[in-house]
Amino acid sequence: MVFRKPPDGGWGWVIVAVSFFTQFLCYGSPLAVGVLYLEWLDAFGEGKGKTAWVGSLANGIGLLASPVCSICVSSFGARPVAIFSGFMVAGGLMMSSFAPNIYFLYVSYGIVVGLGCGLLYTATVTITCQYFDKHRGLALGLISTGSSVGLFIYAALQRELIELYGLDGCLLIVGALSLNILACGSLMRPLESSSSPPPEKTCVDKVPDQYFVYHEKEKTVEENISILEKGYIDEKCVNNVPDCKQDSILSKNVLSSISINEKDTYKKKVVEQTNFCKQLAKRKWQLYLTYWKETMVLFKNKVFSALFVAILLFDIGGFPPSLLMEDVARSANISEDDYYMPLISIIGIMTTVGKLILGILADFKWVNTLYLYVTTLLMTGVALFAIPFAKSYLTLAMLSGILGFLTGNWSIFPYVTTKTVGIEKLTHAYGILMFFAGLGNSLGPPIVGWFYDWTQEYDTAFYFSGFCVLLGGFLLLLAALPCWNACTKQSSKLPPNTYSYKVASNA
């Protein structure tokens, strides 16, 4: 389908509003799952590592399944996918209120809610990109803040609901609130297709239609011939019996000749079908080989290889604080009377601020986005190393704000990817990087939880997290140093599909 030119306004701003609220409603509970994490620890009595899988799956499964989500949105459209995913998120949250054990939560909250969030994220981004061209960056920036605002509000909301109605009542109410996604999804009106004629099908695509028409015509002709022959023979049999016998013999000869023709026609059909299947398989195989060739070309780029390692290590080490910070405060014996605001809420609001400020900085010509991203990684590693030394609510709140602000580097990550591989390879490269980001999200909290189960303290766990993030940042910094400029000049002689990042240029 060919869409008309994006309007860059009008109903597009309604799309931005409903996409903002969609991400607010679907990501609010999974991102603020740290509040629920404490209750699940007390309710089921499982280890911290095993319990942390629930929140990590809810946040990582959507990224891991991003290729499937993209196929669903491309096949069915943003509106049907958003409505269906709204039922998934609401149903998963409500089912979680009846969870008899932690394994049930893996499915209901981790997989069902996580997959629903992944589908909704893809749907909101896709429909927004269809409606905006000139102001696409602004529109995507606005809808991306919906998840951060949801984290800020849902952290305090879920805490109050647990005190008033208990854990089960909280999940039921939050699930009921998620049903508002259905109203948001119904407003995602697809952009009207242009009046231009559809592109002509290729020869391989035409084969099934031609075969179907040919088969129907042949079938109709054969039916007409058989009806005429039968009527003619019946008429002769009534008027003259000898003629009937003679005509029946003739008809048998005709039918025998027709059966021979049918065999030839059947052979032709088999040959046509076989050729079509061979051409289709050959085309799919060529696409498969091309995909892997392009993937290998991407990993020949030193900066991209370092970037994929950095995003994996960053999510392994940088994501756990948003899930475990409340338990860190409880492990430090901080009194609830000292709580002015949930630590997760501080992370949420500062993530919003970080996305906006870092996004604005990335637009300045004198700012190198790759070095800016590396700086956020190194500062995140240092902040993670400082968590074991924080023994009061004030210091934990300050560290939560710093970590939340630095986590806003997600807003500049597409800029870095584009400058690294080029706009032509952005979709392919970004899909690979998001897969590894989802893998890091899924593994990070359980690893930190297992460290606590082994050592009975969080200090070693956050030293490990800080080491992972610092390692990824240093690897990316080494790959981006100007000493690789010589390699960049040599890469200009490579085929046009090979891209490299010129760190000396302004981002």
The half-sphere exposure of 291 on its side-chain side, counting CA atoms within 13 A, is: 10
Predicted local confidence at residue 484, as pLDDT:
53
The parent domain of residue 72 ranges over: 1-193
Query: Do 132 and 8 share a structural domain?
Result: yes
DSSP 193: B
- Decide if 416 contacts 314 (C-beta within 8 A): no
- Decide if 28 contacts 151 (C-beta within 8 A): yes
Give pLDDT tens digits along the chain (507 positions).
445 666 777 888 899 899 999 999 999 899 888 889 889 988 888 888 888 889 888 888 888 887 778 778 878 888 999 999 999 999 999 999 999 999 999 999 999 999 999 899 888 888 887 887 777 767 777 888 888 888 889 988 998 999 999 999 999 999 999 999 999 999 998 876 554 444 444 444 444 444 444 444 444 444 444 544 444 445 444 444 445 445 555 455 554 555 556 656 766 666 667 776 767 666 666 666 776 677 777 778 888 888 888 988 998 888 888 778 888 888 877 776 667 788 888 888 888 888 888 877 877 778 888 889 999 999 999 999 999 888 888 899 999 999 989 988 877 777 787 777 776 676 667 777 878 888 888 888 888 888 888 888 888 888 999 999 999 999 999 888 775 554 444 444 444 443 344 433 333
For 325-388, the DSSP string reads HHHHHHHTT--GGG-SS-HHHHHHHHHHHHHHHHHHHHTSTT--HHHHHHHHHHHHHHHHHHGG
Domain presence at residue 429: yes
Query: Do 173 and 315 share a structural domain?
Result: no
Residue 332 carries which side chain, given as an amino acid letter?
A
Give dist(CA 82, CA 28) in Å, integer: 16
- Decide if 312 contacts 472 (C-beta within 8 A): yes
Give dist(CA 284, CA 274) in Å, integer: 15
Query: Do 40 and 173 share a structural domain?
Result: yes
Torsion sign, CA atoms 361, 364, 366, 371: positive
Predicted local confidence at residue 47, as pLDDT:
85
Domain presence at residue 46: yes
Q: Look up residue 267 and give its two tokens.
A: 């052979």
Which of 76, 83, 78 is CA-nearest to residue 182?
Answer: 83
Predicted local confidence at residue 327, as pLDDT:
82
3-class DSSP assignment, residue 3: strand
Among the candidates 132, 162, 193, a domain finishes at 193
Give dist(CA 293, CA 333) in Å, integer: 54
Domain presence at residue 227: no
Query: Do 321 and 183 share a structural domain?
Result: no
Q: Look up residue 366 and give its two tokens.
A: 């004198």
Query: Do 311 and 164 share a structural domain?
Result: no
Overall pTM surpassing 0.75 (yes/no): no
Query: Do 146 and 9 share a structural domain?
Result: yes
Q: Strands, DSSP E only, in 2-58? A: none
First to last CA, the chain: 34
**CATH assignment at residue 467:** 1.20.1250.20
Number of domains the chain contains: 2
Which of 312, 294, 288, 315 is CA-nearest to residue 433?
Answer: 312
Among the candidates 193, 215, 245, a domain finishes at 193
Domain presence at residue 209: no
- Decide if 437 contacts 312 (C-beta within 8 A): yes
Distances (CA, A) of 61 to 12, 72, 233, 439: 29, 15, 70, 8
Give dist(CA 88, CA 86) in Å, integer: 5
Query: Do 307 and 174 share a structural domain?
Result: no
Among the candidates 166, 193, 220, a domain finishes at 193
Domain presence at residue 260: no
Give dist(CA 458, CA 448) in Å, integer: 8
3-class DSSP assignment, residue 309: helix
Domain presence at residue 231: no
Predicted local confidence at residue 203, as pLDDT:
44
Domain presence at residue 241: no
The half-sphere exposure of 197 on its side-chain side, counting CA atoms within 13 A, is: 3
Domain presence at residue 448: yes
Which of 63, 64, 62, 22 is CA-nearest to residue 150?
Answer: 22
